[in-house]
Amino acid sequence: MASAGAPAAAVPTLAPPLEQLRHLARELRLLLPGVRVGEARETSKEFNRETFWSRLNEAAVKVSGEATTLTEVFSRLPLPSPQETQRFCEQVHAAIQAIIAIYYSLPKDQGITLRKLVRSATVDIVDGMAQLVEVLFITPAQSPENNDLISCNNVWVACQQVPRIPRDNKAAALLMLTKSVDFVKDAHEEMERAVEEYDPYCGLLNDTEEDNSDNYGDEGDDVLGCPNNRDLYWSEEDQELITPCLALVRASKAGLKKIRILVAENGKKDQVAQLDDIVDISDEISPSVDDLALSIYPPMCHLTVRINSAKLVSVLKKALEITKASHVNPQPEDSWIPLLVNAVDHCMNRIKELTQSELEL
């Protein structure tokens, strides 16, 4: 038995509430790199899809609730005590760790495309919670800035998106293919509008010239930073080159639409690897279309247009090749793929003809 004169055990001193929030935000940020590159955890248990989605939804609701509680207690004065703050921080950290662990439990054999969507949702939740905690310790409680920042926070939105995640790899593949089709469609429409308007910088040029004419008189066109006409208009050669470029983008859009239809009609949920391959290569089409679309704006560099066109053709033909060899195309002799490849080759050959002089310089 300890003597009456023995000193009492030292009680650890807790950091002030805002300092604890700062530490929590730092810990949440440290979790993000691992989630972004995290592999599925090996387990001997058989994967149960219904159980997984039920747990993930419940975890998202839990995180949302913890975010609400934390916001309520730190958006008003007086702030909670250090002991209460410790409990709140531990609950937030535990909720975030739980949803990360559930994401890690999704096996690769359920599909890489599906895992990417779940990973993205998990990253958004962790990042949103870290942002919320940062707002709470940086911005004074009850201030208008505090309320505005909290109302715009992403953690609640991210948690609400979890029930909307596709439940299998085929549905995930269709979602990603639909996004690719929409991106390419938007790029194509933007290119067509630019061609119809002929001068995509007309409004900008007129405003600049009016401002410069007020200050410099007739010397406005030579002001530093104001491009000359050659930088603002397409030459006849440029316009001729745009035609096969537009046709190439149209072919890309048509190919993606057809691939999406084949996956929707013939895709099998258990053929996850083939669906992943189709999505992976199809994801490369939209960025390639964007590169080509940007390169047609004046001042146009014909060599850059040729390079970007060749890159798009390569990616598109690879996507068609992978799709043709997969289970989603039950009739490999179907004529639409060879026809589309021929159309793509025709566009590329025309682009090569029109840009040949650039190679000879």
Please tell me the predicted confidence (pLDDT) of residue 250: 97
pLDDT tens, position by position, 330-352: 886 777 999 999 999 999 999 99
pLDDT reported for residue 140: 64
The Cα 32–Cα 38 span in angstroms is: 10
pLDDT score recorded for residue 255: 97
**What pLDDT shows up at residue 227?**
45
All residues at 6 or more sequence positions from 239 whose CB lies less than 8 Å from its CB, including other chains: 195
- In this prediction, residue 148 carries a pLDDT of 56
Is the torsion defined by CA of 49, 52, 53, 54 positive or negative?
A: positive
Q: What is the pLDDT, as a whole number, of residue 197?
A: 80
Which single residue is written with the structure tokens 């308007």? 197
| CB distance 100 to 39 below 8 Å | no
pLDDT of residue 208: 45
Q: What is the pLDDT of residue 220?
A: 43
> In order along the chain (361 residues), what is the average pLDDT of each group of 10 residues?
51 84 96 88 80 98 95 88 96 98 94 96 96 86 60 84 97 98 96 78 45 47 46 86 97 97 96 97 97 94 96 98 94 83 97 88 62
Cα radius of gyration (the chain): 29
**pLDDT the model gives residue 4:** 53
